[in-house]
Structure 1
């Protein structure tokens, strides 16, 4: 049975730049379903970012967000003294950015389906997502990578389903 970790106090959010990033600008402090709230925040942020950034610039932003997020998740987990705190949602944010960046253009229904598929793969952790979730546990560089990796595998599973959907149901 998973251990339920307490939500960090709001002052923790601004105590270090890594906290602000890892906690998704506060979206991870949601009292209910922080992963879902973080993913929603990421979806909204992507929609706003694509108004100003070209697809290439969005790709560069995602490429930079991955190692910066690895660092932020590592630092924040260590400061919370929890290997994979639920309040850390940067992994969900970057994963939904990656999904939307690779799957766009699509309308609201397609984006909603991508969101729902990703949340399913991230929460239920079937097959390869569970494997990735267990691969790197603990603190230090491995812990930050472990926090990010299962969400990236869930993003890959989501993209696979979208690709199959587009191929077989054009």
Structure 2
């Protein structure tokens, strides 16, 4: 069975956000395009104090559980490829407390996409067993945490 076209799902605010402001409607690699679309938002968020940045991440995660679950339900497909709000939040987790510099953004992008695509344990395990909006979000959250851990070690060892 093929997934419903992402182009049909842009006319409701839940779908618009779940599809990453439309970035998830990309015909190829919507997760990659979703992560790319998360970068400009990160560049704005990065100037918040750390406590506010973390608050935004927690709130957008909670919102994402709803958005992704509702969009998935509306489309009748669990984790439609075009639902990319989870990529937004996963990337923002990856970038917690890192310098705002193109090299860190690229490294964060590459590492986050690597873990999101490869899905090492427990990411793949969670992806198969947790359903609904939480299931859509949780694998990207863990992928973001893995990427964050690596970037923070590199930053602390080589740049602090």
The two structures have a TM-score, normalised by structure 2, of 0.89
Give the paired residue count: 159
After superposition, the C-alpha distances for 1:42-94 in whole angstroms (9 at most, x for unaligned) are: 0111113445x443333222221111111011110011100110000000001
Contact kept in structure 2, 1:7 and 1:31, CA below 8 Å: no
SS state at 1:163 partner: helix
Q: CA deviation at 1:4?
A: 5.3
Choose the corresponding residue for 1:114, options 102, 108, 125: 108
* 1:28–1:38 Cα contact (<8 Å) kept: yes
CA distance, structure 2, for counterparts of residue 164 and residue 131 of structure 1 = 25
In the alignment, which residue of structure 2 is the partner of 1:128?
Answer: 122
SS at match of 2:111: helix
Q: How many Å separate the matches in 1 of 2:118 and 2:34?
A: 17
- Gapped regions of structure 2 (runs ≥ 5): none
Deviation at residue 117 of structure 1 after TM alignment:
0.3
**Does residue 162 in structure 1 map to residue 151 in structure 2?**
yes
Shift of residue 113, structure 1, vs aligned partner: 0.7
Structure 1 residue aligned with 2:82: 87
Rounded Cα–Cα distance in structure 2 between residues aligned with 1:56 and 1:25: 26
| Aligned twin of 1:20 | 16
Match of 2:140 among 127, 151, 156: 151
Is the CA contact 2:6–2:24 (under 8 Å) kept in the aligned structure 1?
Answer: no
3-state SS of the aligned residue for 1:85?
A: coil
